């Protein structure tokens, strides 16, 4: 038994059954194909869009403070010696 999911096109693409655009109506596809199309950023799951409610105010995002240094670290003489 095949499981079908309704997807909403986000970008223009041709899935073999016709050209789909962002203005196209949601259409049913098999779950595997839906996952592949979503991974490529071509569709969103119609059920996901109904379940998700936009927050009244977005949560603040803290900046990432861990920056890698490109400066080489000085090694001690003991580190440079090989046994």
- The alpha carbon of residue 16 and the mean position of all alpha carbons in its chain are separated, in whole angstroms, by 24
For residues 5 and 29, the answer to whether their CB atoms sit within 8 Å is yes
Residue 29 counted as domain residue: yes
- Which residue range is the domain that position 23 belongs to? 1-52
Beta-strand ranges (E) seen in the chain are 4-9, 13-14, 19-20, 27-30, 43-45
pLDDT tens digits in sequence order for the chain, 83 residues long: 678 889 999 999 998 888 999 899 999 999 889 999 999 999 998 766 555 455 567 677 777 666 666 666 666 666 666 55
Question: How many structural domains is the chain composed of?
Answer: 1
Is residue 58 situated within a structural domain?
no
Whether 41 maps to a domain, the answer reads yes
φ, ψ dihedrals at 79, nearest 5° = -70, -30
* Predicted structure pTM score: 0.53
Residue 45 lies in a domain: yes
For residue 77, is it within any domain?
A: no
Establish if 16 belongs to a structural domain.
yes
Residue 15 lies in a domain: yes
Is 66 part of a structural domain of the chain?
Answer: no
């Amino acid at each position: 038994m095949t499981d079908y999911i309704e997807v909403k096109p986000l970008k223009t693409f041709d899935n073999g059954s016709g050209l789909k655009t962002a203005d196209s109506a949601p259409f049913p596809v098999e779950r595997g194909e839906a996952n592949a199309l979503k991974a490529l950023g071509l569709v969103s799951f119609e059920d996901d869009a109904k379940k998700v409610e936009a927050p009244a105010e977005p949560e603040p995002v803290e900046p990432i403070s861990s920056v890698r240094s490109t400066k080489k670290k000085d090694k001690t003489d003991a580190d440079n010696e090989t046994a």
